[in-house]
Chains A and B, each alone.
Chain A
Amino acid sequence: MNVIETHQLTRQFGDFTAVNGVSLSLQEGEIFGLLGPNGAGKTTMIKMLTTLLPPSGGSATVAGYDIVTQSPQVRRSTGYVPQLLSADGNMTGYENLLIFAKIFDLPANVREERIQRLLEMMGLQDAAGRMVKTYSGGMIRKLEIAQSVIHRPRVLFLDEPTVGLDPIARTSVWEHIRRLRDEFNTTILLTTHYMDEADDLCQRIAIMHQGQLAAIGSPAELKASVNGGGANLNDVFGHYAGAALEAPGSYIETSRTRINAGRVG
């Protein structure tokens, strides 16, 4: 059975259609990348699938639960790392994990073991007692990912997990994302702007353009589909989301992205 299944999923904001009739399915244990220029609808897709935003049309199930009628169950079975900073700088790394273990109702005898194992897995044991505001951008991201998988979700949503990170921190975050999949068979849906990230991490990617799916397939399949096969993913992206550079952008969004990049970087 597919872990994520969307059918004609649609979201409108007034006259603007952010997501327009997207049908997708993800298999268990898959790392799936959602690509597209700013405003293509990636974050809106994730917000609907994490139940933060109700859809205006269509339907979707996550981990077997309907995102509208069974949203509490969906929230219980998924983890979510938003694009913005989500670890609390005014607590230690350990406390950030502890609170999430409690929010997800893990029994006391399991909590400590899980926290220690995740700290070790993410290479954060030594920093566990330090306030998160002293962490580097890469450490914060890893802590946030650890927080969001403490309850062993079947599905993990990562919204631009490596935005603003330096190349070394990025590869380290990738490695940890892969380990989560390998060890727990977690299905991972991530959005990204980086072609190399999609190429390196994802079994399949979908390119969104103006709220619709422009292309879907494995990186190799997509490369083969453009320019008679000699394309790299940048060419693929340009081919399917070509008009993006001229698309009206959002001043506020740009400012936010840069502030955020500055904060974690």
Chain B
Amino acid sequence: MTDIANTQVSPAAWLRPLNSISFFIRKTLNIAEMEMRKLRHEPLDLLTRAAQPVLWILIFGQVLAGARAIPTGEFGYIEFMSPGILAQSMLFISIFYGISIIWERDLGIIHKFLAGPAPRASLVLGKGLSAGVRGISQTFIIYPLAYFMGVKLDFNILALLGTLLTVLLGAVLFSTFSLLVAIKVKTRERFMGIGQFMTMPLFFASNAIYPIEMMPGWLQAISRFNPLTYVVDALRTFMLAGGESHFGLGTDFAVLILVSALFVWWAGRAYPSFVN
């Protein structure tokens, strides 16, 4: 057999800072690519996810809109809740994402990646990005639905990109949080219990389906520590024609980026303990 030249880069090369950042990004994208390939083989996964937000908007939304019980200012209730339901849909997809790595660990797939050269945090962030793509798929369900329900959407290209970026960031944040929980609890049974326990407080202690001003004081305080609140705030700004940010987009993105970075770092550090 002919010999192929040994093309390995010398190990010292990628230890230099600039190279190692580019290495980190490349490995993150490799992992994300793998997840996308898997998703492409199972596209139905995404469709089944669409049922829940559709029901929330069609049933819950219409009933509450008719009741006029919630003061949503200049917006109708369906308008007010549509960004909240997109955020909720992204949250549900992301918060249960950790179950997939428990499954992969039980099989043994994780071991091989941990013994490879990709930095642990890139394994985490790559998975987070793929959760982001899954979350983004929901915008393609919710935008048309909201449009037909008469919501005045902002179709400015920058606003649309802002929506996608917000969903992506939110999904990275909550999916890496989910990975961290999975790494800590290790079994599917415990994870499912905790997952159920996490989603409801995160959802209800946020501005997703009612304004913060309506909440009792203690819940208002909690909701300000809830990253979902900032996801919804940014989405309301980008999605709705005439939408205005409550906290300021700068604050929203700063919170989402910093908290995501913290979870990626933390989960990357805890990753090796997952297989021992």
Contact = CB atoms under 8 A, between A and B. Distances in A.
B116 interface: yes
B7 interface: yes
B115 A80 contact: yes
A85 B107 contact: yes
A25 interface: no
B201 to A, nearest CB: 32
Contacts of B107: 84-86, 89
A240 interface: no
Interface string A82-121: 1111111111000100011011111100100110010000
Most chain-A Cβ atoms within 10 A of its Cβ — which of B7, B38, B108, B112? B112
A251 B37 CA distance: 37
B6 interface: yes
Interface in A130-161: 131, 144, 147-148, 151-152
Nearest to A183: B1
Interface residues of B, number: 35
Interface in A58-95: 65, 72-73, 75-78, 80-91, 95
A117 to B, nearest CB: 8
Given A52-B272, A72-B15, A82-B111, A104 B116 contact: yes
A84 B106 CA distance: 8
B114 interface: yes
A51 B276 contact: no
Contacts, number: 100
B276 A52 contact: yes
B117 A104 contact: yes
A83 B108 contact: yes
Contacts of B104: 88
Given A75-B117, A152-B8, A88 B109 contact: yes
B202 to A, nearest CB: 29
Given A75-B116, A95-B37, A99-B34, A82 B4 contact: no
A117 B27 CA distance: 24
A152 B41 contact: no
A135 B171 CA distance: 33
Contact of B30 (A91, A102, A152): A102
A50 interface: yes
A243 interface: no
B27 A103 contact: yes
A75 B27 contact: no
Interface residues of A, number: 45
Given A90-B38, A152-B8, A103 B118 contact: yes
A110 B76 CA distance: 58
B26 interface: yes
Contact of B108 (A82, A106, A107): A82
A69 to B, nearest CB: 12
A47 interface: yes
Given A110-B4, A151-B8, A152-B6, A85 B109 contact: yes
B275 interface: yes
Contact of B112 (A73, A86, A90, A131): A86
Interface in B191-214: none
Nearest to A79: B115
Contacts of B115: 50-52, 75, 78, 80, 82
A72 B11 contact: yes
A53 interface: yes
A114 B116 CA distance: 18
Contact of B117 (A47, A84, A105): A105
Nearest to A104: B117
B112 A80 contact: yes
- Per CB-CB distance, the 7 closest pairs between chain A and chain B, nearest first, are A84-B108, A80-B115, A82-B111, A86-B112, A73-B11, A50-B115, A90-B38
7 contacts: A47-B276, A65-B11, A84-B106, A84-B107, A86-B112, A103-B30, A151-B8
Interface of A: 47, 50-53, 65, 72-73, 75-78, 80-91, 95, 99-100, 102-107, 110, 113-114, 117, 131, 144, 147-148, 151-152, 183, 260
Given A72-B11, A91-B37, 5 more contacts: A76-B117, A84-B111, A86-B108, A90-B41, A99-B37
